[in-house]
Structures are given as C-alpha cells and as structure tokens.
Structure 1
Amino acid sequence: MENLLIIFRSLFKKGRNNLIKILSLGVGLAVGLVLIAKVYFDQSFDNFFPETDQVYQVQMNFKMGDADPSESNHTSGGLAIGFREDILETMSASRFTVLNNGEHFYTTDGEKYRSDIIMADSCWFDIFPRKMLVGNPREVLARPMYVLISDEIAERLGGASVAVGQTIWIDGNKGKNLTIGGVFERLPYNTHLRYDMIISMESISKFMWDGTENWLGNERYTTYVKLRPGTSMERVEEEIDDMKNKRLPMEEIKKVGLELNYLLVPLHDIYSGSKEVKQMSWLLGLLAFALLATAILNYVLIVISSLVSRSKEMAVHKCYGASEPNILKRMLVETCVDLFASLLLAAVLIFVFQGNIKSLLNQEISVLFNAQSLWVLAGVCVVVFLVSGLLPGYLFSRIPVAAAFRNYSENRRFWKLGLLFVEFIAAGFFAVLLLVIVRQYNFMVNDDTGYNADQIAYCELSGVNRELRQKALDEVGRLAEVAEVSSASSLLFYGASGNNIALPDNDTDMFNVADLYFVGNNYFDMMQIPIIEGRLFREHGAANEVMVSRSFANKILAYVDWTDGVIGKEILISEHSEEGGTFTICGVYENIRIGAIGMEDTRPSIMFSATTPANYMQIKFHQLTAESMKAVEDLLVRLLPDKDIQLYSYEAELLNRYSDSKRFRDQVLIGGLITLIICLIGLLGYTSDEMNRRRKETAIRKVNGATIMDILRLFVTDISRIALPALIIGGMGAALVASRWMQQFPQKADVSILTYLCCGVVVFLIILCAVAIKSFKAAVDNPAESVKSE
C-alpha cells in the first residue's frame, strides 16, 4: 500500500515522463486489443451451436470438360432427402433457400419492417437449435404459409405473445399471407447464418418453382447434415457415391463431360476455417502484435531512460533495507498503475471512436467485446504487464548501493538502442505494407471492367408485374434528370448463374458459361460495352437470338471448325433449350468483368434480349446526385406503392465489392501512423538522454572548432547505424506479408524495388529529421554552460 501511495504521488513528477508512457501505451493497447478482439470474434463463428463437430455443410464439386474444377455451397433441393434416407450415419439433414426479394415484410395494418428471411424445412432446428419462446419449430415449419420469427422481430410487433397468430406478407408478394406460428431466440452475430424469419419450406410453391425434391438443376438450396458421433468419414464418402449412383443419371452426366461430387465441409470451416478469413485473421493478429510490441518496447525504453535520474532513489531504498525482490515488486506495482491508467485511456478512446471502429472492422464494439473475448483480452493484458514490468524491474533492482554516494553513469545505452531497433523494424514494416495495399487497392478500383457504370443507378423490381415494370420504365425515362433507362436480369459486379453450351447435332455439352440472362434494348449503349462483331438485338427483341462475349467466340472455336466466325451460328443452351430450341448468335461483345478482382467469374458470358422489362431497372442520369436519385425514387414510390423502392449507385456498389481491401488498407494506415508516432516518441526520448549524457563531449568538440552540422552529424550518424538495417528488415518482412495477402488476387498491381526503396527512404528521412530537430538545441548551446561544473 505504501508503494502504491508513493507511485500515485510521483505520477506527475518532473522527469518521469509518466504521461507520455501512459499515452503511448494506452493508444497501442486501444488499437491492439480491438484487433485481437476482431480476430477472436472471427474465429468463434458458429461455436455456440451444440455438437458443432457433427455438423457439415454439403458442397458440390464439379468439373466440366477441361475446365478447372469448381465448388459451390448451392445444391439441389433433393440432396437433404437423400442424406436422410440413404446415408446411415445421418442423424438429420436440412436445407434452406432465400427469397429473391426477402428483405421487408408488411403487417395487415400496412406497417413495413426489415428482416432477413429464409425458407427452411421442418428438420432445420434439429441441426441448428435455438431456444423457443413460443411454438414448436418442427410443427410450424411443416405447415404451409407459416413462419417463425426471432424475438427481436417479435418485440417490434408488440411482444412474442402478441406477434404469434398475426398475418404478414413479404414485399413483392402481396396477397400471399403468412401466419406467425412461433418465436425463437435471435441468433448471435458470430455465425455465418443470417436470418430472423423462417418461412416453412412447404410454402415454396407459392413463391417460386418447387425444386425441393429435384436432384439436377435449380441449385438454389444450401444443405446441412448432422452425423452421428464417431462417424467414419471414409464410410460416409462410400455411401455418398452409392447415393449418387442411385439418385442421379451418372452415365448421362459423364456423357456430357461433367464430373460431379459432394463434399462435407465442417461447420467451423465454413467461415472461420475459410482461406480468406484465416488469412485476414493472421494478418490482423500480426498487426496487433506489431502494435502492442511497439507500445510495450517504447514503455520499457522510457522507463530505462530514467535509470540514471532514479538511481539514487533506488540506492537509498537499499540503504534502508530494501532487497532486490522489494525493488522488483515496487517496479511491478508502478507498471500495474501505469497499465491501469493506460487501459482507462484505451477504453475512453474505444468508446469515443466506436463509430470509426465499426466502419474499419465492420462490427459493433459491443459485439467484439463480449464475455468470452474479455477473458482473452485479460490474458493479453497480463502478458503486457509482465513484459513491461519484469525487464525494468530487473534493471532497477541491480542498481548498486554505492549509487547513493556517487554519480551513477550506467545508462543502459545498448538496451535503448536494441529497443529502438525493434521499433524501427515495426515502422518500416507498416510503411511498406501500407504502400503495397494502397497500390493494389487503387489498381483494383481503377482497373478497366469493360463497361462504364458512371452516372448509372439501379433499382430492384422483382415481384412487380410486367405491365407495371414497363410503365415505370416509361415514366422514369421522361424525367428531365434521366438520360436513358433500361433493364437487366443481372448486375455485373454480383456474378452470374451458369449454363452449358452444346450444338444442335450433338447433345454433348462443350463448356459452361456465365449466363447474364436478359437485357433491355439500349443496355449495351448505356453500359458502353463495345460490339466487336455482328449486331445488337433487334429493337423489340428476338426470343431465339443470343449475344456472346469475345472469350466465348474464341473458346467455341476449340470445339468446332467455324472458319467464318460465330455470327449466324446456332447453339443449344441448357435451361433455355429445354424444349430443344436453338439460339442464333447475332453479335459478339468485348469481354467484361463479371464480379470483382479476386471474386471474378472468368467464364465466357452470354446475354439474351428482354422482351419484357427484367428484374433490375437501370437509370443513367445526366448528373447523378442525391436530388436526381430522390426524384426517381419519389416517382417509383407513387407508381409502385406496394414495393419497397431503393436506388443504388452502380459505381458505388461496384467499389463496395472491394470494401474488405479498403478496410484492411485503413487498418494498416492507422496502425502504421500510431506505430510511427510511438516510435518517434521513443526516438526523441532517447535523443534527449544522449544529449544530456554527451553534453560535455559536445561542448568540448565545439570549443575545438566543431560546427553545428558536425554536432548534428554526431547524433544522426548514431541513429542511422540502427535505423537503416532495421528499416531493411521491416521492409523485407512487409514484402513477404504483402505477397501472401496479394495471393487472393489473380490480377496484381506492379510494385517495383525502386518503390520499396523510396518508401524506406521516406521513413528514414522522417527519423533523421526528428533526431536533427531534437539535437539542434545541443548543437547551438553555449559550451561554457555545459563545462562550468568541471
């Protein structure tokens, strides 16, 4: 207690630099702990479900001809039934699908609510159980036109008891009334599943084609299976092969050149174990370690810098009987007080900047700092305490008693240089890593997509009948703010469904394409997609015409001998040619990017002419502004009062596909700035100590004719010897980490060795400038003042 009182009284004592210690450690802890909490959160996905080690997601693995194999978590509806009936090790199997427009629902009094809606079968809660507040989930999900809602939705409707029995309808499906039959406890945030309303699978025929017992095609379902404890996966794989031979026309599948298999992915691996999340967790963990290490080492550096000034204090304590363990204990208590103050500062910073943290990590602070993660963070704080306290405590406890009676000159300079060396490594690491990330991000957002989304907005119109869609297009096209209007079935940055290509005289599928389905008459002009061969669709559309990409025209020539090109040739397209109808290629357009870099669909693509307006209305404005978008939204709300209307900027949504890279860029930027600031604090403190230690030396040099530049060079050269190798090591480490991060992108920005060198030089110059500015005082001081005590 006495040590504690002494330490509290000395918090603001001159020369201790306690405020700087607490500030640098607090800022480092704030960012480091938030990053660690994010890593823990990402690695805890789905662990709240019981018996998670027995739950698997069924994924399709397929290969068409000589194409690369692909995997998909979308399967046919009958697969869950097959697992329940044919795989003996199965305890239960279930599947769900999403509604094309399942984001809002309406109550009978016309109130609109937002919700994440899925459609699942009656076995869903056998695999993913949740506490039920009202109702039996198996019974409710077995009844047509019944739904389960979360307690969060129920609260908005007046409570669980009031909500049950109410009638609702989904946006775009007015007249298809659903009855609320039960209320379940909401899902926590750390799950790959996103829903707060479940419609019974028995209702599917009211909303779409019923493919719940289908085995080929209509792969819109996500299937899960729960196996018995101790199940042999080799045995399950054998039974899956038997199930395929029993349920699927395997001979016909092989005949068309398709290889089809089913994979079981453990529940933990769906999100936490995925390659992307594991890599990001590793990178964020590395950033957190670098930040915390820099903050801790800077704290230790500041404490060691006070070694000379506090030597008599420690020696006097020893004169009064304090042993080395007593001194160590006192230093640990001092570290504990500093750490507590730093944690308070970190908590304040996290609270104040919680909005920024949410945008950086895409998660609320209250979610990241939960009961489980707090234990992990407490463990990190214990490690920080031990590292920050033991090393200074050991050095202070070794101060001899004689220091009380003579000047103590031991300054632990090599300890300080070693700590600065590590801090410089961290600064160089962050600087180079940030450079690479910025270059790659700028490359992705500025890369040519093959189309121009400038001044274009879109609006989703599923659930609206064709007459109203056409009227909406006509009315919007008349607005003064609008340059032109069209429609499309697909948004290019989202990706595309697939279909197979064959010839009329040969039913063997040649290859798979990205099917963009239907586009309006002026779609190509609006998107500025060049036509390189042939022509556009006829003005009012032709049901038997198709346009193909350049890559399609090139790829099909590997299968057929069309020396005169593809224009006018007839092909079969699965799904579209189910009745045997052929399609004539009328034009070839330049290759366009479908998806985004790192998520790109590289298959050749095709488009059809829309005889009626497609699901997405696309509007090109003379000038895309909030006011012009509001004018279109207001008009559509009047025309379509039963439809939830929301306009989105096409270009903004395209850029949003790179939001993960943008967030990582910002995380490294903030981490780098904080590391550099902490590093400079330590550097300035070290330079100040060196000025005091060498002030008589510098005075004598000046008396002997040394200039100001000679004195500055003395300090700058001293730091350069450790800064240069440290920055090289940090830059090399960053280059290795950056190359690992860049592996997720098939197209990479070019970063030359010269660029790396320039980045290192900039950081090096910042360090030298800081030293020069700090040591300038020593260079201009009157030497007589420094040596008058001699």
Structure 2
Amino acid sequence: MMNLKRLFRSFFKRGKNNLIKIISLSIGLALGLVLIAKVYFEQSYNDFFPDNDRIYQVISNYSTTEGNKAYPQTPGAVAVGMKTELPEIEVATRYTWLAFETVMVTPDKKKYTGNVILGDSCLFDVFPRPVLAGDVKEVLSRPMYIMISRKIAEKMGGINQAIGQTFTFDSRPGKPVTVGGVFEDMPNNSHLSYDVIVSMPSISQFMWDGTMNWLGNDRYMAYVKLLPGVKPEVLEPGIEKMKEKYLPLEELEKSGIDIGWDFKPLLEIHVGDEETKRMTLILSLLAIALLFTAVMNYVLIVISSLVNRSKEMAVNKCYGASEKNIYLRMLSETLLDIVVSSAVAILLIFVFRGTILSLLNTTVSDLFTLKSILLLIGVCVFVFFVAALIPGHLYARIPVAVAFRNFTESKRYWKLGLLFIQFIAAGLFVTLLVIIGRQYDFMLNKNPGYTYNNLAYCSLSGVDSELRQKALDETLRLSEVAEVSSCSQLFFDFASGNNIRLPNGEQELFNIADQYAVGNGYLKLMEVPIIEGRSFIENTPSSKEVMVSRSFIDKISKHVDWPDGVVGKNIYISEHSRGLNDTYTICGVYEEVCMGIIGHQDTRASVMFYNEKPSSYLIIKFHEQTAEALEKVSDMLTALLPDKDIQVYSYAGEMRGKYSDSEKFRDSVLIGGIVTLLICLIGLIGYTNDEMNRRKKETAIRKVNGATTVDILRLFIKDISWMAVPAITLGCMIAYFIANTWLDNFADKAELTIFLFVGCAIAVFIIILAAVIINCYQAANENPAESVKSE
C-alpha cells in the first residue's frame, strides 16, 4: 500500500514531465492501436462462417487467343452440376446480383434501401446465418418470395410484422415480392453484403433465366463446400469428365476457347486480394512507425530527467535498494503511465469514433472485438516492457556516489539515437503524405478522354420508354440545361463483356467492354472525339451501326488485315447478333476513354450502339452546374415521375467518390504525419532544453569571449543537423518503397521525381530547425553573468 501511495505521489511530482509523456504516448497509442485493429479486421474476413476452411469460390478460367484470364463469375449450371457430378462436394450454391442500393417500395409508399441478390435454396447451407423467422429452404424455393435482413425488418416495423408484407423494387416496378423470412445481418467483415435474397425461381420475372446454362451468361457467383479432408486438387479428374459431358468442346476448340474451373479458398477471397495485401502492409508499417515514435519519445523524456532523478536513485541504493529494486521501480512507474495513457487513448478513440468510421470505413465496435482486444493488449504489454526496461537499465547503473556529488552524465547519445528514430518517422510520414496527395490529385485531374464538368446523371431504370422520352424533353426545356442525352452504361462503372467474330467466322477473336445503347448527341455531349468515320445516323428506329474505340483497331488488326481501316466493315457481336450472318457495320471510331477508374481500369476495347429510345441513364449537361440547378432538375423529374425515387447526381461528385478510399488513406496518413511530427517536436524541445541546461556555462563563456546570438544558435543547429539530415533522408527512402507498393494499385501513376523527395526532406528539416531556433533563442540571448555567477 505504501509503495502504491509513493507511486501515485511521484506521478504528480514536478520535473518528471508526466503530462507531456501521457499526451504524446496516449495519442500515439490511440492511432497505432486503431491501425493495428484495422489490419486485424481486414485479416479476419469471412472467418466467422462455420467450416470456413472447407468453403471455396468457383473461378472460371478462360483460355483464348488473347491469353488466359480468370473470372469470379460462372454460368448458372456450374454449381448445380458440380454438386451432381462430384461426390467430394458436400453442398454447392450460387447467387447473382439483382440490384445494388436499390429502393424498395411498399404498397403504402414507404421506401427502404438495400442490396438485393437472387439466391438458391442451398445458400444458407454454405453461408449459414441465424434465421430469425421463416423457413429458409421453403422461402428460397418459392417464386417471388424473399428473405430480408434484420436491419430491413426492423425498419418495416419488426421481425414478426415484416413477415407477409410485400414491396416492389424501384428499378423493376410491377413485380411485387413477399417477405417469407428474416435472417441476421451480415457482419461487416464479410465479402458478402446483401440485405434481401430473392428466391432463384423468381429470376425469370426480372431477367433472362440462365440458371441451368453451361455456356455464357456468366453472372453467377458459385461456391462449394467440400467434404472433410478433401482438397480441391482431388476434383480435377471429375471436372474434366463434367466438361466432356456438358460443354460443346469441339465448337469451343474451333472458336479458340478452352474453359475450366478452379477453386479459391473462402478465407483468401479478401485477404488474398493484391490491393488488400498492399494496404495491410502499409497500414502495419504506419502503425509500427507511430507506436515506435511514441514509445521512443516516452523513453527520451524519461532519460531527459536522468540528471534530476539521479540523487533520488542513489539515495535509494544507499538505503539498500538493489538493481532489481530500481528495475521494479521503473516498471511500476511505467505501468502507471501506460495504464493512464491507455485510458486516455480509449477516451480519444471513443470521442473520435465518427472520424475513425469515416477514414477507415469500419466502426469502432467492429475494430475492437474480443480477439482484437487481446491482440492489442499484447501490443500494450510489449510497449510497456520496451518503455520500462530501457530507462530501467540506465537508472540502475547510476553509482551510489551520486548521492554525495553532482551527476553530470547526460546520456546524450541515447537521446540523439532516440531522436534519430523519430526524425526517420517524420521524414517518412511527410514524404508519404505528399506522394499520396499527388496521386490523388493526379487521379482526379487526369483527362479520362471525356469531359464531366457541369455534368449530371439520373437513373431511369424501371421507367417505360415514353416517360423516359418525356423526362428527356422536359429536362432540355429548363434554362439551366445545355444538352441532354441518354446511355445504358456510365463510363466509370464496370461494363459487361461480349465477344467479337468476323462474319461467318468460327473463332471468337476477343472480348470487348459493351457500352450498349446511347442516345442522340451522346458523344458530342461527353466531348469524346471521333477520330475515324462518323457518329450514328440518329432517329433511326432499328440501327445496325456500331462505334468502336481506338484500341479496337489494334485488337482486330491482329486477326485480319484491313488496309483501308475498320470503318464500313461488318462484325459479329455476341448477345447483339442473332446469328453469324447478323452483323453490325462499324460507322466510326472514337478516341479511347478511361472505363472504370484509375487503379481499376478496364483495358478492353469498347463498343457502343445507337437506340432511338432513351436508355436507362439520363445524362444532363448544364451551362453551369450549381446546387440550385441540380435541385431544379430533381424537382421537375420527381413531379413528372412521382412513383420513382429520383436522385440526380453530379458526375464530378460521383467521380470523386470513386476515389474516396485514396482520399481517406491520404487523410489517415495526414493525421499520422501531424501526430508524428508533433511527437518529434516534443522530443526535440525536451532534448534542446536539456542541452541548454547542460551547456549553460559553456555558452556563457563563449558569449564573454565574443560569440554572438547567431553563433550560439549555430552551435545547437549544428548539433542537431548532423543527426537530422541522415535520419530524414532515410525516412524519405523508406517512404519511396512504401509509396511504390501503394502505387502498384494504379495503372496510371503520378511521377515520383528526386525533387519531390528533396523538397519533402528540406521541409521537414526547416521545421526542425525552426523548433530549435525558437526554443534556443532565449537561452542564446541570456546574460552570461547569470550563468557563471555561481562559479
């Protein structure tokens, strides 16, 4: 009890800089632990599913004249066929997406939003979730019946109240579905994210039924659960027999195509993704850098009070304290500091939980689970021993004689070593921040091949063609609107694919990104240049023209020699052509546009068709886009289409949203950089204060002998510079390798020049010098008589 009282009294004792220690350590702990928890969260994806080590995703492997490609989608019959033909498979399932973030409308006009899939009756056998109401097998076997999540059910009045209710999907009106059951929400660390499961027998009400298709219509996500002890390699002979039984192998061979299936472990779907692995590595390095900086700063502050506490430790030794007792004393003091800092860190995490959610896309409750908390406790224990044992070693070596004379040993090189590490972290974070900021600006400002300034769009999915045309006409009448057109596919969204053949040709040449139908003046509105031929002949009821991108020329030239160009040539396009003789004529070639976003670009050639009737997206170009103009269009369309949930989106705003992950990563590094720099400056100020006190008489004598204030400042600057310059340089070099790892996510990258790294290093160095000058200026101006009068 006495030891505890002494410990708490010493905590509030002056001269130990406890407030600074707690502030810097708690902030470092808060940020470091959050990043470590985020890394653990990313590594825990899908581990909550029972028998997760036996669940595999079916991957389609295609070998064509373009090379080998793997896709996560399969035709509808693959999962069913595997369960039938391969006895090693315990159960198989498949689902396909119906709508993302779609609006569901009840008969009394209440609206709910969620992700919707079509799933078969075996879905819960592979991916079980607690069922709160209803019989899953029965519900997912009945046409036009659905299972909904707890979240949706509670919005509808409760689990029991939701059963039996009906609603329609805004994008597919006139197709009411009935709630037959409720399941527990999917956790956030699942690669599956759906709120509504429509029974697979309902598929023909919403789209073409390809559930038993073996070739084409590759839109289904297929999964299998193997029997205990079975490895995927065992299935290969059975898969070959299955191919011989169900696939037209001779026709595929003539077309130059070979199809196969592979299996990807469930636990590797997210964790094994290259982007996830790179991001996990970077977050881990940043967390280590933050924690290490905070701990080293703590040790630096403790060592800085060595001179002040030396007599105290020596007196303890005079009264019989051994080195073990000194170590225990430091352990107990550090334990108290760690406990208080951890409490403050927890408070900071709670206060800034909204910011954490915004930056990491993960709630605090998801980050801090029982398993992750145990991991973080282990990290804190490691921090505790590092922070306690280094100072403990130094304090234990203080000689007993210090009790009777002045102690002059300052452990200066220990302090410089700790500062060296902190300066490395400062150079790392600042340089990394600048690189990430440059890449973010590069992505936003890079010309995608079309102009989206003053552009907006609105989905008219589920609206008939007459009302779409009326909506287009009424929008064009608004004074704020310059042009209006329509399209089936937005450039930044992922495009479906179709295959190209020559007329009467047997071989499929290559796959293209299909933009489907566009309306009048679409390319002109989007400011996409036409480099060969012309645009579509408009107002044609049934057009057989197609436009292709520049890269289409390069693709087709590998298979056929058209010396006079592609314009005017006929091609077969799967899905659009009803037979080998049903061809489309290339009327023009447009300049290459960026499909998708940088980092997730679709590198295929693209094609587009013309439709006189407006397509599902209304594209609006304003004279000047303002919030008022967007609202005016929205109000007009809402009045025209009262049963439709109208959302008018700024194209530029949505484009920025596509890069939100990069923006959040930039902001995370910004916060980490600011905190690291502040911790470094705290340590630097503490070091310079110690040095000023240690060299007080030296500087006084120098001033008596004619040294100016600038000379004294130069003395301290030189002392710091020889250590800061290599440390910052090393930090910039580490930032280069980390940044290159992150930039591998992007096909187009901002240029990294030597001037960028030199500029970052100079900026950090200037900040450090400014802190030294400001902190030392008063001491450099001090009257030397005050310093030497005690001599």
Please give the range of the TM-score, normalised by the shorter of the 2 chains.
over 0.9
After TM superposition, list the pairs within 5 Å mapping 1:713-724 onto structure 2.
713-724=714-725
State yes or no: 1:204 paired with 2:203: yes
State yes or no: 1:235 paired with 2:234: yes
Distance 1:571 1:369 in 2: 57
Which piece of structure 1 moves more, 150-159 or 39-48? Answer: 150-159
Cα displacement (A) at 1:426: 0.9
Aligned to 2:657: 656
CA contact (8 A) 1:439 1:751 kept: no
Q: Deviations over 1:271-298 (max 9, x none)?
A: 1221111110111010000000000000
Cα displacement (A) at 1:47: 0.6
Cα displacement (A) at 1:84: 0.8
Distance 2:160 2:766 in 1: 68
| SS state at 1:40 partner | helix
Code of the residue aligned with 2:198 in structure 1: it is I
| SS state at 1:740 partner | helix
Cα displacement (A) at 1:531: 0.9
Distance 2:60 2:612 in 1: 34
Cα displacement (A) at 1:145: 1.1
After TM superposition, list the pairs within 5 Å mapping 1:45-56 onto structure 2.
45-56=45-56
| SS state at 1:10 partner | helix
Cα displacement (A) at 1:762: 1.5
Distance 2:304 2:272 in 1: 45
Code of the residue aligned with 2:324 in structure 1: it is P
After TM superposition, list the pairs within 5 Å mapping 1:88-103 onto structure 2.
88-100=87-99, 103=102
Distance 1:445 1:585 in 2: 32
Distance 1:281 1:4 in 2: 41
Aligned to 1:269: 268
Code of the residue aligned with 1:322 in structure 2: it is A
Code of the residue aligned with 2:76 in structure 1: it is G
| SS state at 1:144 partner | coil
Cα displacement (A) at 1:491: 0.7
| SS state at 1:183 partner | strand
Distance 2:632 2:363 in 1: 34
| SS state at 1:168 partner | strand
| SS state at 1:148 partner | strand
State yes or no: 1:644 paired with 2:636: no
CA contact (8 A) 1:57 1:267 kept: yes
Distance 1:124 1:106 in 2: 25
Aligned to 2:566: 566
Cα displacement (A) at 1:151: 2.0
Aligned to 1:771: 772
Which piece of structure 1 moves more, 198-207 or 350-359? Answer: 350-359
Aligned to 1:413: 412
Distance 2:430 2:438 in 1: 12
Code of the residue aligned with 1:432 in structure 2: it is T
Cα displacement (A) at 1:768: 1.7
Aligned to 1:284: 283
Aligned to 2:634: 633
CA contact (8 A) 1:55 1:267 kept: yes
Distance 1:735 1:618 in 2: 41
CA contact (8 A) 2:58 2:262 kept: yes
Q: Deviations over 1:435-457 (max 9, x none)?
A: 22222222221111100011111
Cα displacement (A) at 1:548: 0.9
After TM superposition, list the pairs within 5 Å mapping 1:12-51 onto structure 2.
12-51=12-51
Distance 1:662 1:253 in 2: 45
| SS state at 1:208 partner | coil
Q: Deviations over 1:28-79 (max 9, x none)?
A: 11111111111111111111100000001112122331x2433221211111
Distance 2:561 2:165 in 1: 63
Distance 2:28 2:682 in 1: 13
Code of the residue aligned with 2:775 in structure 1: it is K
Distance 1:212 1:145 in 2: 16
Aligned to 1:786: 787
Distance 1:150 1:101 in 2: 15
| SS state at 1:308 partner | helix
Q: Deviations over 1:297-331 (max 9, x none)?
A: 00000000000001111222222332222222222
Percent identity reads: 57
After TM superposition, list the pairs within 5 Å mapping 1:311-322 onto structure 2.
311-322=310-321
Cα displacement (A) at 1:558: 2.9
State yes or no: 1:8 paired with 2:8: yes
Q: Deviations over 1:115-162 (max 9, x none)?
A: 222110000011001111222211211111111112222222222222
Distance 2:293 2:665 in 1: 20
Cα displacement (A) at 1:521: 0.8
| SS state at 1:477 partner | helix
CA contact (8 A) 2:301 2:686 kept: yes
State yes or no: 1:299 paired with 2:291: no
| SS state at 2:548 partner | strand
What count of residue pairs does the alignment treat as equivalent?
A: 789
Aligned to 1:245: 244
CA-atom RMSD in angstroms = 1.5
State yes or no: 1:498 paired with 2:497: yes
Cα displacement (A) at 1:102: 6.0
Aligned to 2:593: 592
| SS state at 2:340 partner | helix
CA contact (8 A) 1:4 1:334 kept: no
TM-score (norm 2): 0.97
CA contact (8 A) 1:102 1:118 kept: no
CA contact (8 A) 1:63 1:70 kept: yes
Q: Deviations over 1:576-597 (max 9, x none)?
A: 1123311111111111111111
Aligned to 2:555: 555
After TM superposition, list the pairs within 5 Å mapping 1:122-133 onto structure 2.
122-133=121-132
Aligned to 2:669: 668
CA contact (8 A) 2:538 2:612 kept: no
After TM superposition, list the pairs within 5 Å mapping 1:321-340 onto structure 2.
321-340=320-339
Cα displacement (A) at 1:101: 6.2
Code of the residue aligned with 1:321 in structure 2: it is G
After TM superposition, list the pairs within 5 Å mapping 1:479-558 onto structure 2.
479-541=478-540, 542-558=542-558
List runs of 5+ in structure 2 lacking aligned partners: none
Distance 1:99 1:641 in 2: 23
Cα displacement (A) at 1:785: 1.1
Cα displacement (A) at 1:716: 1.0
CA contact (8 A) 2:523 2:529 kept: yes
Aligned to 2:745: 744
Cα displacement (A) at 1:401: 2.0
State yes or no: 1:107 paired with 2:99: no
| SS state at 1:199 partner | strand
Q: Deviations over 1:445-486 (max 9, x none)?
A: 111110001111111121111111111111111122211111
CA contact (8 A) 1:3 1:330 kept: no
Aligned to 1:761: 762
| SS state at 1:568 partner | coil
Distance 1:700 1:463 in 2: 87
Q: Deviations over 1:516-559 (max 9, x none)?
A: 11111111111000111111111214520001111112332332
CA contact (8 A) 2:100 2:115 kept: no
Aligned to 2:222: 223
Distance 1:758 1:113 in 2: 51
CA contact (8 A) 1:102 1:170 kept: no
CA contact (8 A) 1:133 1:185 kept: yes
Aligned to 2:469: 470
Cα displacement (A) at 1:656: 2.1
State yes or no: 1:459 paired with 2:454: no
Which piece of structure 1 moves more, 417-426 or 643-652? Answer: 643-652
| SS state at 1:506 partner | coil
Distance 1:210 1:486 in 2: 31
Code of the residue aligned with 1:539 in structure 2: it is E
Cα displacement (A) at 1:261: 2.2
Aligned to 1:433: 432
Distance 1:57 1:644 in 2: 35
CA contact (8 A) 2:55 2:223 kept: yes
Distance 2:126 2:452 in 1: 43
Q: Deviations over 1:62-106 (max 9, x none)?
A: 2331x2433221211111111111122111111111114662212
CA contact (8 A) 2:168 2:174 kept: yes
Code of the residue aligned with 1:360 in structure 2: it is L
